[in-house]
Amino acid sequence: TNGGSESIIKKDTLLFMHGLLGSSQNYVSLINNYHPELLKGEREAFLMDCRNHGRSLHTKSMTYDDLADDILNLCEEQQLEKVNLVGHSMSGKAIMNMLLRETMNGNEKELLKKFNKIVVVDISPVDYTQDSRWVIQNHIKAMKGIDLSKLKTRNQAEIILKDLSNGNISRDVRLFLLTNLMRKTLDDNSVKWEWRCNLDVIEEYLIQIGSFPFKVRDDPLGIYAQLAPIQYNYDNILFLRGENSMYVTDKYEEITKLFFPRAKFKTIKNASHWVHADNPNDFAASLTGFI
């Protein structure tokens, strides 16, 4: 970044953040196919690898506060203002945590200066860890079950994932998980396979990632069934959900409204959790329509 008086503040950038076990690569085809609409005028796009994912550093800690700090630090380092922030799944939760935490700490003006529009994709501010359909821990167990020292090909890794999960991980998800598998050629021309994501730390923090730092509470007076402890009371946030996704139900949407009472909500047809991959056309149109 430029220092001193030469510093250039970038405004109206698009910052994309991926979900658990994803990477910035998840958005490349979207940007390539829809860049005239998404990158109007001089708008730049940033694709962020979250800590312990993609090309980002491996760290020992991975809480939602860590991820919130990473967003704020990136904006600071790159001198970004009026950012249009798009976060899928885990990153959507990181964004929600950042908005609620900074509001609680009295930093709303800073938030409004830093972020123009915010889009949270297919995630709710709830605890998924008790839901029997939340099986990400099985995915990680299967990934860790592959003996990388004996692995010959990526295709073999996919077969092992299928076997280790008793066929319970669909082919699409297996291929998604294997985007984390990297093949390295060493100096002696031998081949080494390694996971690009930090599976040990991700596994250690998985219960925290599956839940959410802010909890709604029951109202003892019975005026409302539940109350949010803190609210982000601005209308510059859109929640997109996939029509066929388990991650956003009508009940979960009601909980989201407790935290974000002025938010907008939209459902993308013919899409499950990976909205941007399942229906990129409607996803891109929803982004450009809102931003």
Same domain, 96 and 141: no
Give the domain range for residue 148.
Answer: 136-204
Same domain, 146 and 278: no
The candidate with the shortest Cα–Cα distance to 287, out of 100, 94, 88, 61, is 88
The candidate with the shortest Cα–Cα distance to 166, out of 189, 145, 149, is 145
The Cβ of residue 284 has, within 10 Å, a number of other Cβ atoms equal to: 18
Taking 90 as the threshold, does the pLDDT of residue 53 lie above it?
yes
Report the C-alpha gap between 216 and 271 in whole angstroms: 28
Which among 153, 188, 204 is the end of a domain?
204
58: domain CATH number?
Answer: 3.40.50.1820
Same domain, 49 and 154: no
DSSP state of 120: E
Cβ pair 45, 38 in contact under 8 A: yes
Q: What is the pLDDT of residues 27-49, one digit of tens each?
A: 999 999 998 888 887 889 999 99
Q: Give whole-number Cα distances, 255 to 60, 103, 261, in Å.
A: 31, 18, 10
Rounded to the nearest 10 degrees, what angle do helices 136-144 and 154-164 cross at?
Answer: 130
Q: Which amino acid is at 216?
A: V
Q: What is the pLDDT of residues 129-164, one digit of tens each?
A: 988 888 899 999 999 999 999 999 999 999 999 999
282 occurs within a structural domain: yes
* Secondary structure of residue 123 in the 3-state scheme: coil
Give the predicted TM-score (pTM) of the model. 0.92
131 occurs within a structural domain: no
Cβ pair 235, 262 in contact under 8 A: yes
Same domain, 140 and 85: no
Q: What is the pLDDT of residues 196-227, one digit of tens each?
A: 999 999 999 999 999 999 998 876 666 556 77
With a CB cutoff of 8 Å and minimum separation 6, the contacts of 107 are none
In order, the DSSP letters of 30-90 are HHHHHHHHHT-TT--EEEEPPTTSTTSPP-S---HHHHHHHHHHHHHHTTEESEEEEEETH
Which among 204, 237, 257 is the end of a domain?
204
Tokens of 49: 């690898």
- Domain count within the chain: 2
